[in-house]
Amino acid sequence: MEYRLIALDIDGTLTNSNKEISKPTLEALLDIQERGYTVVIATGRPTAGARDLADELQLGKYGSYVLSFNGGLITNWRTKDIIYRQTLPKDVIPELHTFAVENGAGIITYENDTIIAGTEINQYMQLEANITKMEIKRVDNFKEYVDFPVVKCLMSGAPELMEQLEQKLKKKYKSLLNIFRSEPFFLEIMPNNIDKAQSLLRLLTSLGLSSEQMICCGDGFNDISMIEVAGLGVAMENANETVKAAADFITDSNDDNGILKVINKFMK
C-alpha cells in the first residue's frame, strides 16, 4: 500500500542538534507536500512551541497538521481549526501543584503563547522555554490562576527525583491520567488514553486514510506508540534501543538527514 502521510517528532528527529531543519530535509518535505502527501508534526511541545517549524514547513499552505501536547491537541494549520482536544480534569490541577511543591519538583502548564510556572523556575523549566521559544511566567497562586482548560502539565527536576515521582503519580492516579517521562528530567501529565498514536488514528479517520498508509518517525519513548501503530514505524539512529526495537526501519541520525533518507526511500 502506498504511504500518504508522514508524522514527525521534532526534537531529535525532524531537527538536528541545533534545533534546525536541514535545508535538504526541508526541501524534501516541501516537495512531498507539493505532490499531495500530508505532513504532520507530532510533538510533545505545546502548539506555540511548534509554530515556527510548522510555518517553515509551510503546513498552512498545504493543509497539513500539527499534533501537539503528545496528542492532546490537533490543529489544521491552514484554517487553525482545532480538530481534536482533550484536557485534564480540572480538579487534579491543584492536586498536582501541591504534589510538586511537597516533593521539590517544578511544575508548569501552558496558556496560549506563555509557559505558566507554579514554582520557582528551575533549569529544566528554563530549558523548556528555550526549546519552545516561549516566554515563561511565574505566578504567585498557580491554583487560582489556572482557571482555563489544561491539556498538559509538566513536572521537572533531577532525573532521579522524576523517576521516583513518576511511580508515585502513577500509583495515585492509575487509569485517570497518562503519566510518563519524555526526558529523564521531564515528567508529562496528560489526560488518560492520550498519546501520539491514538490522536494520529483519529486524524487518519477524518482524512479517510488507514494506519497502513502512515509513516511515523521518532527517537523518544513518547514516540513508541505511533511507531508501533504506523504502516512503517521509523526510529532514528540516535534513538534509544527500546525505541529502535519497536521500529520497522532504522534511519540515519537527526544530524545526518535521517528524515531525508526515509523520504527518498519510501515516498518517491
Q: Which CATH number is 92-191's, of 3.30.1240.10, 3.40.190.10, 2.60.40.10, 3.40.309.10?
A: 3.30.1240.10
Beta carbons within 8 Å of 198's beta carbon, 6+ residues apart: 71, 225
Q: Is residue 183 over pLDDT 90?
A: no
Q: Which CATH number is 5-85+194-266's, of 3.40.50.1000, 3.90.1150.10, 1.10.1740.10, 3.40.50.720?
A: 3.40.50.1000
Looking at residues 235-243, what average pLDDT do you find?
A: 96
How many residues are recorded in the chain?
268
Q: Are 97 and 91 in contact (CB under 8 A)?
A: no
* pLDDT one-digit tens code per residue, 198-236: 999 999 999 999 999 999 999 998 899 999 999 999 999
Do the domains at 5-85+194-266 and 92-191 have one common CATH topology?
no
Q: For cell 494549520, what's the residue?
A: 77
Q: How many CB atoms lie within 10 A of CB 197?
A: 21
Burial profile 138-174: b = 16 or more Cβ within 10 angstroms, e = fewer: eeeebeeebeeebbbbbbbbeeebbeebbeebeeebe
Q: Is residue 166 over pLDDT 80?
A: yes
pLDDT, mean over the chain:
96
Q: How many CB atoms lie within 10 A of CB 100?
A: 25
Distances (CA, A) of 152 to 21, 25, 109, 119, 191: 26, 30, 6, 16, 8
234 Rama class: left (phi>0) / alpha (psi -120 to 50) / beta: beta
* pLDDT one-digit tens code per residue, 102-154: 999 999 999 999 999 999 999 999 999 999 999 999 999 999 999 999 999 99
3 state DSSP class of 195: coil
The pLDDT score that the predictor gives to residue 221 is 86
| Domains of the chain, residue spans | 5-85+194-266, 92-191
The pLDDT score that the predictor gives to residue 181 is 87
User: End-to-end alpha-carbon separation of the chain, Å?
Assistant: 14
Q: Are 149 and 177 in contact (CB under 8 A)?
A: no
Beta carbons within 8 Å of 24's beta carbon, 6+ residues apart: 257, 260
